[in-house]
Amino acid sequence: MRITYLGHSSVIIELAGLKVLTDPLLRLRVLHLRRVAPDATPEQLADTDLILVSHAHHDHLDTRSLKLVGGTPRLLCPAPARRAAAAAGLRPEVMAAGGHARVGEAEVEAVRADHDGRRYPHHRRSEALGFVVRGAGGSVYFAGDTGWFEGIGDVGAVDVALLPVAGWGPHLGPGHLNPEEAASAAALISPRVAIPIHWGTYERIAMTVVGHRADPARRFCDQLAELAPGVAAELLEPGASLDVAPSA
């Protein structure tokens, strides 16, 4: 199994003969944000089989980024994200927490996330999801965007957990894990490997960042080493990959 962190919440998961892409955000500028990490390459995006969209926020469901992926991948998303995903020319399949979908030789389960997934501020609060992908060679939990909630550790046994630890600014609003909360979640889930995501990729245009962009990810890794030394914390810079051997 190979995990490639493209930046923000965009991750390529390769297992069971599939290439899975999460929350593609690939453009240099999106609304008031500018990319400060390396771009994804066409080669990385080629032959994507499945796209998982956690919710309808523009930094997780960007129609122009979906078009950059190319091909005809399947796309799974919560109901509030369906219309925007369809605008990219794809045929989204709606899921809700607890639902399952078979994709090739892999099983995908939609799980709860504590996050307001509405696309626009005037819309009603709407569902956001995480996903668990299981297949030959391993299993991965992609948390999407989430805050802390009772039962955050109840995703079952997984080899890899992809957990958000920051965002695109110095402050986090409701519905987001900070690095220490994300480490606590990882300790509860107890994967073999935990990888911080949702950091170090976008900044507000004209915003000056104090400190290093990787600080939230480092804080996550340091805290997890204290809470659960048996879980391997792997900090992947945007563009980097990690091969995870099948569990014994």
Q: Determine the average pLDDT of the residues in 58-73.
A: 90
Q: Which amino acid is at 220?
A: F
Give the CA angle between residues 242, 244, 248 to the nearest 5°: 170
Assess whether pLDDT exceeds 90 at residue 168.
no
pLDDT the model gives residue 106: 98
pLDDT the model gives residue 2: 98
Q: What is the pTM of this model?
A: 0.92
CATH of domain 2-238: 3.60.15.10
Q: Is 182 helix (H, G, I), strand (E, B) or coil?
A: helix
Assess whether pLDDT exceeds 70 at residue 124.
no
Q: 28-40 pLDDT, tens per residue?
A: 887 778 888 888 8
pLDDT the model gives residue 210: 44
Q: 180-229 pLDDT, tens per residue?
A: 999 999 999 999 999 999 998 878 776 555 444 668 999 999 999 999 99
- Give the residue carrying structure tokens 């299981």: 134
Using a pLDDT cut of 70, give the percent of the chain over it.
88
Q: 10 Å Cβ neighbour count for 242?
A: 16
Q: Answer yes or no: are the C-beta atoms of 164 and 176 closer than 8 Å.
A: yes
Distance CA 49, CA 108 (A): 13
Assess whether pLDDT exceeds 60 at residue 247.
yes
Q: Answer yes or no: are the C-beta atoms of 63 and 89 closer than 8 Å.
A: no
Give the CA angle between residues 177, 200, 153 to the nearest 5°: 25
Give the contacts of 103 (CB within 8 A, at least 6 positions apart). Answer: 18, 49, 50, 74
Q: What is the band of 120 on the pLDDT scale with cuts at 50, 70, 90?
A: very low
Q: 82-112 pLDDT, tens per residue?
A: 998 998 899 999 999 999 999 999 999 999 9
